[in-house]
């Protein structure tokens, strides 16, 4: 069917079709024409303080909604996006990057136009390494088809795509015909039938099968299909770190997070004792595997992702993840009795003395009490990530973190994207003081758009994870008065918590206040660490027959300047 909208209008139409109702970014002269079209469209522009903040917000939006978009100007804006888009590529988050560019006609005679770095193609060449598809819309005869190509690749592989639009192409109109892509065309049916036969045989013969659920179940919207399959066959489910919240963690078939030595020993033992581990959409990264303290026998695994499929040591090609999952649901797999799962840990932390210093374990115990079905946890990296893995998530896709690429600064801007993608969910932001100092002032964007996250700043005066590896003054950060950020922004409420009692009161007040954001400055001992970090340290020490150094909250023998 022919279409006579402009190139810029067509790009906005494709975004809206994908349920992208918000575009994050910062304007610039090369992209103002597109911004003008954006203002006339049903899509809302969300202006952030920095382009990297826009990138993190679009990434989180994509993780919750299914696709996100960010729009910036040429080079000075676009190159600020490289880190968050690299993270989105690494963790398979489908973000459309739209960048303005100098006009095609004004490039004649190779002029030195502002924002240019080397060649006019330099920015596109850089993004070609961190996106699954890229294009510069420099020819009106191919522009529409190029937009479709990038969107199809982003949808197929769930990785970012890059679209550069010169300012003089935004309003160009050329008749075009759209040919939708059918995923069935990409499936090798013979390969699908053969791998399915081997997988079904392996599952039916297994005495203790288990599903290891990963991030791609989120990306492809297959969480409900996972739960239905697990319930029909009575197969228990463990999640990777990136896959956390793939299903309700109160579900009777949910085992917990499988994360090597960082996780609970009983979960690791159950998974590794399985004679058939059905790995669905999981990345076998060092963090997901507890810094490679996990151990899975490839001969006992069915490993399925959008880019790789193997049954034991047999590999298959051209079988998309969704095609395999659909076939698996229809396959004849026997239902077995309800498995005998290891008991879940009891909430046995003793009531803390209200005047005692706050420990990381105690902090997460208090946080857990406030999580509801309407809370989405957005975690930054470091011990806020490791500690949050023991939180109980009530429904699906209510936990977002960059647990593979592990870029600091994700959480605060990520909460913007998460809440705009799903307004009923109130973000709980877990962020270290070092990461907060990178992007925390995106709370200005939070205030501007009247969002209301609860932000917990883990104030241990530096980079705690690095301290565990190699201590030194280079891990220290300058102390901020985090509770005073609302005074700076003219909005929000700030709290300081130095004792267990103050933390309990601050969290209660912060969650009760819903008008706008709250920020809690949680003072922690610089050398305290989460139970997950403690478990990892002990297991690694056991390998070398060394005991990890004792950690005591409030320890005064090792101090870091405030």
| Range ranked top by mean pLDDT from 41-50, 151-160, 309-318 | 41-50
CA 419 to chain CA centroid, Å, is: 14
Phi, psi dihedrals of residue 148, rounded to the nearest 5°: -60, -40
CA dist 84 and 65 (Å) reads 17
CA angle 361, 367, 372 (to 5 degrees): 145
CA angle 262, 304, 281 (to 5 degrees): 50
Domain boundaries, the chain: 2-181, 184-330, 360-543
Cβ–Cβ < 8 Å for 447, 517: yes
pLDDT grade for 115, boundaries at 50, 70 and 90: confident
What per-residue confidence (pLDDT) applies to 104?
84
- Of 345-359, 382-396, 418-432, least confident by mean pLDDT is 345-359
Predicted TM-score (pTM) of the model is 0.90
CA dist 137 and 140 (Å) reads 7
CA dist 314 and 439 (Å) reads 45
Q: Is the pLDDT of residue 201 over 90?
A: yes
CATH of 184-330 given 1.10.3720.10, 3.40.1360.10, 3.40.50.1220, 3.40.720.10: 3.40.50.1220
* Neighbour-count burial of 33, counting CB atoms closer than 10 A to its CB (0-12 exposed, 13-18 middle, 19+ buried): buried
- Of 30-44, 58-72, 200-214, 456-470, least confident by mean pLDDT is 456-470
Cβ–Cβ < 8 Å for 353, 252: no
**pLDDT tens digits, residue range 145-188?**
999 999 999 998 899 999 999 999 999 999 888 877 665 667 88
CATH 3.40.50.970 for domain 360-543: yes
Inter-CA distances, 368 with 262, 364, 397, 409, Å? 19, 6, 17, 23
What sign does the dihedral 187-189-190-192 (CA atoms) show?
A: positive
CA dist 28 and 33 (Å) reads 10
In three-state secondary structure terms, 163 is strand
CA 30 to chain CA centroid, Å, is: 30
**pLDDT tens digits, residue range 348-383?**
556 778 899 999 999 999 999 999 989 999 999 988
Architecture, CATH, for domain 2-181? 3-Layer(aba) Sandwich (3.40)
CA 470 to chain CA centroid, Å, is: 27
End-to-end CA distance of the chain: 65
Give 25 or 108, the one with higher predicted confidence.
25
pLDDT grade for 475, boundaries at 50, 70 and 90: confident
User: Nearest-CA neighbor of 378 among 517, 217, 222?
Assistant: 517
What per-residue confidence (pLDDT) applies to 106?
83
Which two three-digit tokens encode residue 551?
């950690």
| DSSP code at position 119 | S
**pLDDT tens digits, residue range 222-256?**
999 999 999 999 999 999 988 899 998 889 999 99
């Amino acid at each position: 069917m022919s279409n006579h909208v402009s190139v810029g209008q067509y790009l906005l139409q494709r975004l809206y079709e994908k349920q992208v109702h918000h575009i994050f970014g910062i304007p610039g002269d090369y992209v103002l024409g597109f911004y003008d079209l954006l203002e006339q469209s049903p899509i809302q522009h969300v202006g952030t303080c920095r382009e990297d903040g826009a990138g993190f917000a679009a990434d989180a939006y994509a993780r919750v909604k299914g696709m996100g978009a960010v729009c910036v100007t040429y080079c000075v804006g676009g190159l600020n996006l490289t880190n968050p888009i690299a993270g989105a590529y690494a963790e398979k988050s489908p973000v459309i990057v739209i960048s303005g560019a100098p006009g095609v006609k004004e490039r004649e005679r190779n002029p030195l136009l502002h924002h240019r770095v080397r060649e006019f193609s330099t920015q596109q060449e850089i993004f070609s390494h961190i996106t699954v598809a890229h294009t510069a819309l420099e020819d009106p005869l191919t522009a529409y088809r190029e937009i479709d190509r990038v969107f199809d690749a982003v949808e197929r592989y769930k990785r970012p795509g890059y679209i550069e639009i010169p300012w003089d192409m935004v309003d160009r109109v050329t008749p075009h015909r759209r040919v939708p892509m059918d995923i069935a065309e990409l499936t090798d049916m013979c390969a699908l039938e053969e791998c399915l036969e081997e997988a079904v045989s392996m599952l039916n013969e297994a005495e203790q099968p288990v599903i290891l659920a990963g991030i791609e179940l989120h990306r492809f919207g297959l969480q409900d299909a996972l739960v239905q399959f697990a319930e029909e066959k009575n197969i228990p489910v463990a999640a990777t770190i990136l896959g956390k919240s793939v299903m309700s963690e109160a579900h009777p078939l949910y085992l917990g997070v499988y994360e090597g030595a960082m996780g609970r020993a009983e979960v690791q033992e159950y998974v590794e004792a399985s004679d058939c581990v059905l790995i669905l959409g999981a990345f076998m990264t060092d963090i997901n595997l507890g810094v490679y303290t996990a151990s899975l026998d490839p001969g006992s695994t069915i490993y399925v992702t959008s880019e790789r499929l193997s049954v034991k040591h047999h590999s298959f090609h051209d079988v998309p993840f969704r095609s395999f999952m659909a076939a698996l649901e229809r396959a004849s797999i026997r239902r077995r009795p309800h498995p005998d799962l290891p008991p879940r840990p009891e909430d046995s932390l003793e009531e803390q003395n209200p005047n005692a210093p706050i420990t990381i374990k105690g902090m997460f115990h208090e946080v857990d009490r406030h999580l509801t079905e309407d809370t989405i946890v957005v975690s930054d990296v470091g011990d806020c990530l490791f500690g949050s893995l023991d939180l109980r998530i009530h429904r699906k896709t209510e936990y977002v973190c960059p647990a593979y690429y592990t870029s600091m600064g994700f959480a605060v801007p990520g909460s913007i994207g998460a809440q705009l993608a799903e307004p009923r969910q109130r973000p709980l932001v877990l962020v270290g003081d070092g990461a907060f100092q990178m992007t925390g002032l995106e709370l200005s964007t939070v205030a501007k758009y009247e969002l209301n996250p609860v932000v917990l700043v883990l104030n241990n005066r530096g980079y705690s994870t690095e301290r565990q590896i190699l201590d030194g003054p280079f891990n220290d950060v300058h102390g901020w008065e985090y509770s005073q950020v609302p005074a700076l922004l003219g909005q929000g409420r700030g709290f300081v918590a130095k004792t267990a009692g103050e933390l309990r009161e601050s969290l209660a007040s912060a969650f009760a206040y819903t008008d706008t954001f709250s920020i809690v400055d949680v003072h922690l001992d610089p050398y305290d660490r989460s139970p997950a970090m403690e478990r990892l340290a002990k297991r690694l020490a056991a390998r070398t027959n060394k005991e990890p150094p004792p950690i005591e909250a409030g320890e005064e023998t090792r101090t870091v300047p405030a």
